[in-house]
Amino acid sequence: MSTDPTRSAPTAAVSASTAIACDIFCAVIDNFGDIGVCWRLARQLASEHGWQVRVFADDLHAFQKLCPSLALDRARQTVGGIVVEHWREPAHAGDTLEVADVVIEAFGCELPPIYVAAMAERERAPVWFNLEYLSAEDWVADFHLRPSPHPRYALTKTFFFPGLGPGTGGVLKERHLDAARAAFEASPEARDAWWRQTTGHAPPPADATVVSLFAYENPAVDSLLEQWRDSAGPVVLLVPEGRISGAVARFFGQSSFPAGTHAARGNLTAHALAFTAQAGYDALLWASNINFVRGEDSFVRAQWAAKPFVWHIYPQADDAHLPKLDAALAHYARTLPADAQEALARFWHAWNGAGRPDWAEFQRHRPALQRRAAEWAGELAQVGDLAGNLALFAKSQLK
């Protein structure tokens, strides 16, 4: 076990000499999901399991958007008790080579060869995970925790598959999350303060439908903006600054839609929001009635928010993402009445390139979708939290 004092501070129950040391390697492909998942996992392993966590990240700019206190110019720093190393090049493995008890290679990024060699020389081989991307497909359970022996060294890599069904690694969920959401939802003061701080305005009236919109560029948004403008009741749109902002700006006849801007047309009012630190994103989901999310981590957060949501899945070559979209729908929509199930599937497909999204139809099924969202959050929790599942397996190997 590591005694490195620069590693994250262990919780009171775990002394520095017995805390498990964990290195997480993250190469950012694009967007925020890679570092978003790694950073959330790191924070949870440190705060809930008392592990001494170090994150190797190759893109501190993306990381800083989620964690504004991160300095861009430091090779090594400690943030919230977690050591962050700027992983400068594939061969770099930190200023001093130390191998952790648990090594997590996120999303198939390749570990520095010098680090792998040091893993093999360690008196006790570390528990080595390849943390995969989330998929709701059935095959995931068969491959979860499969070992893969290294071709040259006496090391075994274990494939850890997040998933939405039994037998998978589950998805990340902090212990305090449900209580934090319940407290926010039960407090008109918290809601009021959030609206004023985030949008500069008081909360909208109770009859407004509040929609958060986090998405990639999406041609279907033009039609949806028109439908919201013409809808029977007020729609309040909350748009974190990002890839969809340009289309929203164009709709309102503006050249851009920067944070702090508001615009209105017909029954639609839109607020452009600043991109928040990661811990602040959940409140946006809690403050909204319907959440548009994307990628991996926000998709998971929307499920824990227990509100109806629409997923813009990360697009892959040859439409490889479409079976994944349907696999998620199969879980999420499982117990919905057939007409609501079909409406939801049509809307998700339209949002992902097939057809035109029908807002009126979606709204018609909102009560059923709301009931199912709450029920699904309970079902998903049965699979267990990813950090807890990973920690449990790692500890069983370290015994």
In the complex with ligand TRH, which residue's Cβ is closer, 101 or 296? 296
Q: How far is CA 208 from CA 37, 192, 222, 252, in A?
A: 32, 15, 20, 20
Residue 162 interacting with ligand TRH (CB under 6 A): no
- Give the torsion through C-alpha atoms of 338, 340, 346, 352, to 10 deg: -120
CB nearer to ligand TRH: pick between 133 and 159: 133
Among 281, 309, 351, 376, binds ligand TRH (CB under 6 A): 281
Q: From the list 115, 195, 214, 286, which residue makes contact with ligand TRH (rule: CB under 6 A)?
A: 214
Q: Which of 2, 22, 23, 36 binds ligand TRH (CB under 6 A)?
A: 36
Sketch the per residue contact string, 118 through 147, with ligand TRH: x for CB under 6 A, - otherwise. Answer: ---------------x--------------
Nearer to ligand TRH, 239 or 391 (CB): 239
Residue type, 283: A
- The long-range contacts involving 109-114, CB below 8 angstroms and separated by at least 24 positions, are 109/25, 109/26, 109/27, 110/27, 111/25
Verify binding: residue 64, ligand TRH, rule CB under 6 A: no
Instruction: Report which residue type is found at 213.
Output: L
Stretch that binds ligand TRH, among 8-16, 152-160, 180-188, 276-284 (CB under 6 A): 276-284
User: Using the rule CB under 6 A, which residue among 10, 33, 94, 308 binds ligand TRH?
Assistant: 33
Choice among 105, 174, 282, 296 that is catalytic: 296
Shortest approach of ligand TRH to residue 148 CB, angstroms?
21
Q: Which is nearer to ligand TRH, 67 or 336 (CB)?
A: 67
- DSSP per-residue string spanning 317-374: GGGTTHHHHHHHHHHHTTTS-HHHHHHHHHHHHHHTTSS---HHHHHHTHHHHHHHHH
Instruction: Please provide the DSSP assignment of 26-81 as one string.
Output: E---STTHHHHHHHHHHHHHHHHH--EEEEEES-HHHHHHH-TT--TT-SEEEETT
The minimum distance between CB 155 and ligand TRH, in angstroms, equals 26
Q: Which of 1, 16, 31, 322 binds ligand TRH (CB under 6 A)?
A: 31
Which listed residue (314, 342, 346, 349) binds ligand TRH by CB under 6 A? 314
Report whether 249 contacts 275 (CB < 8 A).
no
User: What is each CA distance from 283 to 14, 109, 174, 271, 365, in whole angstroms?
Assistant: 31, 31, 14, 15, 24
Q: How many CB atoms lie within 10 A of CB 288?
A: 22
Q: Considering the complex, what minimum distance in angstroms separates the CB of residue 30 from ligand TRH? A: 5
Out of 7, 86, 157, 294, the residue judged to bind ligand TRH by CB under 6 A: 294
Q: Indicate left, alpha or beta for 98 from its phi (over 0: left) and psi (-120 to 50: alpha).
A: beta
Residue 147's DSSP bridge partners are 158
* Count of residues interacting with ligand TRH (CB under 6 A): 21
With contacts defined by CB under 6 A, name the span among 76-84, 168-176, 272-280, 336-344 that binds ligand TRH. Answer: 272-280
Is residue 296 annotated as a catalytic residue, yes or no?
Answer: yes
Q: Is 271 near ligand TRH (CB under 6 A)?
A: no
Q: Is residue 228 at the binding interface for ligand TRH, with CB under 6 A as the rule?
A: no
Backbone angles phi, psi at 191, to 5 degrees: -65, -45
Whole-angstrom distance, CA of residue 208 vs CA of residue 228: 11
Q: Is residue 101 within the footprint of ligand TRH (CB under 6 A)?
A: no
Q: Supply the Cα-derived Rg of the chain in whole angstroms.
A: 22
Across-strand partners of 235? 209, 268
Residue 163 contacts ligand TRH per CB under 6 A:
no
Q: What is the smallest separation between the CB atom of 294 and ligand TRH, expressed in angstroms?
A: 5
322 near ligand TRH, rule: CB under 6 A: no
Residue whose CB is nearest to ligand TRH in the complex, by number: 33
357 phi/psi in degrees, rounded to 5? -65, 135
CA distance linking residue 254 with residue 172, whole number of Å: 38
Burial class (CB in 10 A: 0-12, 13-18, 19+), 73: exposed
Window of 24-32, 114-122, 251-259, 331-339 that interacts with ligand TRH by CB under 6 A:
24-32
Position among 278, 291, 303, 352 found at the interface with ligand TRH (CB under 6 A): 278
Least Å distance, CB 118 to ligand TRH, is 28
Query: How many C-beta atoms lie closer than 10 Å to residue 387's C-beta?
Result: 26
Q: Which residues bind ligand TRH (CB under 6 A)?
A: 29-34, 36, 66, 133, 214, 240, 275-276, 278, 281, 294-298, 314
Q: Catalogue the active-site residues.
A: 34, 296
